[in-house]
Amino acid sequence: MTLSRRSFLLRTASTLGALQLAGIRAHAAEPMRVTHYHSIPPFSWSDDKNVMHGIFIDVLDEALHRRLGIPLVHLGYPWVRAQKMVMDGEADAFCTVPTPERRAYTVISEEPIMTVTFRIYAQRNNPAMDRLKKVKSLDDLKGFLIAAYIGSGWARDKLAGMQVDWAPNPDSVLMKIASGRNDVYIDASEVQRKRITALGLEEKLVELPQVIDTQSYNLCIRKTSHYRTILPKFDKVLRQMRHDGSLAAIYRKYDVLPTGKK
């Protein structure tokens, strides 16, 4: 190979490498757009200035922004819209329970952001309370009218074939239970305790002690997002945060433990 030919190839390789590096930097400069349910404290909620708060926001800010240097934008919407934005390519990621449907269009972290317990909520004077106290699994709830909200992947998957009354949002679900229009509601106790208090329904609703399910909430990144490749690093950082106490500190900030116990 002549010297001029070798020089040409080296210059070409150098140019291509520079272009690839520039492309990576350009992608890195684009904020990672994360959508959240705008009204599900303590996981995520927006204030009157549309600023997002909550466990998911704090964990991602620490893991992705501060420790991995990834710029983030947190966006709050009704849950159906938040999921659709990721599905349609308008956002990069969300944090939620992994389901087969979500796995079809996202890649999902191995490490959970949080693990929660699902318990039963019912009207305090429900005439079937004695039977409800003996429930050990979802199969034992057959015959009851179960309330759920539109967009809940857990309810859609776990309650298939059961009698379900779908409401537009979790607040509507709890109001239906409190009024006796539905029998029971099953959801994350970490969320429902705070929601019941916020709605002033402590005297009307009761949380039953038995754990019906345990679910992890993970980071789900759209398969076509250029941020899809960060998950191994994200998993590593979450393990570090679990080891150094950072995750526990975030949970404590919101008066919540990952096991669902106070």
Residue with tokens 């490749």, as numbered in its chain: 229
Give the DSSP H or E segment for 117: strand 114-123
As a whole number of Å, the end-to-end CA separation of the chain is: 73
For 18-30, the pLDDT digits (tens) are: 444 344 444 556 9
Contact 172, 149 (CB under 8 A): yes
Task: Check residue 29 and give its pLDDT.
Answer: 66
Distance, in Å, from the CA atom of 181 to the CA atom of 173, rounded to the nearest integer, reads: 10
Q: Which of 153, 234, 139 is nearest to 187 (CA)?
A: 153
Angle between helices 231-244 and 246-253 (to 10 degrees): 80
Q: How many alpha carbons fall within 13 Å on the CB side of residue 150?
A: 10
CATH of the domain at 127: 3.40.190.10
Do 105 and 222 have their domain in common?
Answer: yes
Q: What is the pLDDT of residue 153?
A: 87
DSSP 8-state symbol, 143: T
Question: How many of the other CB atoms lie within 10 Å of CB of 209?
Answer: 9
Residues 6 or more apart from 194 whose CB is under 8 A from it?
41, 42
- Is residue 259 one of the residues assigned to a domain? no
Residue 22: inside a domain: no
As a whole number of Å, the CA-based R_g of the chain is 23
The predicted structure's pLDDT at residue 173: 96
Instruction: Tell me whether residue 2 is in a domain.
Output: no
Domain co-membership, 84 together with 109: yes
pLDDT at 2: 53
Packing angle, helices 189-198 and 170-179, rounded to 10: 70
- Asked if the structure places residue 105 within a domain, the reply is yes
Domain identity same for 86 and 145? no
Q: What does the pLDDT look like over 49-82, one tens digit per residue?
A: 999 999 999 999 999 999 999 999 999 999 999 9
Q: Which domain holds residue 147?
A: 116-215
In the structure, what pLDDT confidence band is assigned to residue 47 with cuts at 50, 70 and 90? very high
32 part of a folded domain: yes
The residue whose two tokens read 């909200």 is 149
Place of tokens 């303590």: 42
Q: What is the pLDDT of residues 202-227, one digit of tens each?
A: 999 999 999 999 999 999 999 999 99
Asked if residue 13 belongs to a domain, the reply is: no
47, part of any domain? yes
Q: Is the pLDDT of residue 182 over 60?
A: yes
Please tell me whether residues 179 and 193 are part of one structural domain: yes
CA–CA dist 78, 36 (Å, integer): 8
pLDDT at 258: 56
pLDDT of 31 higher than 80: yes
The pTM assigned to this predicted structure is 0.78
Q: Are 182 and 52 part of one and the same domain? A: no
Alpha-carbon gap, residue 255 to 146, rounded angstroms: 28
Q: Does residue 135 have a pLDDT over 60?
A: yes
Total domains present in the chain: 2
Pair 108, 238 in one domain: yes
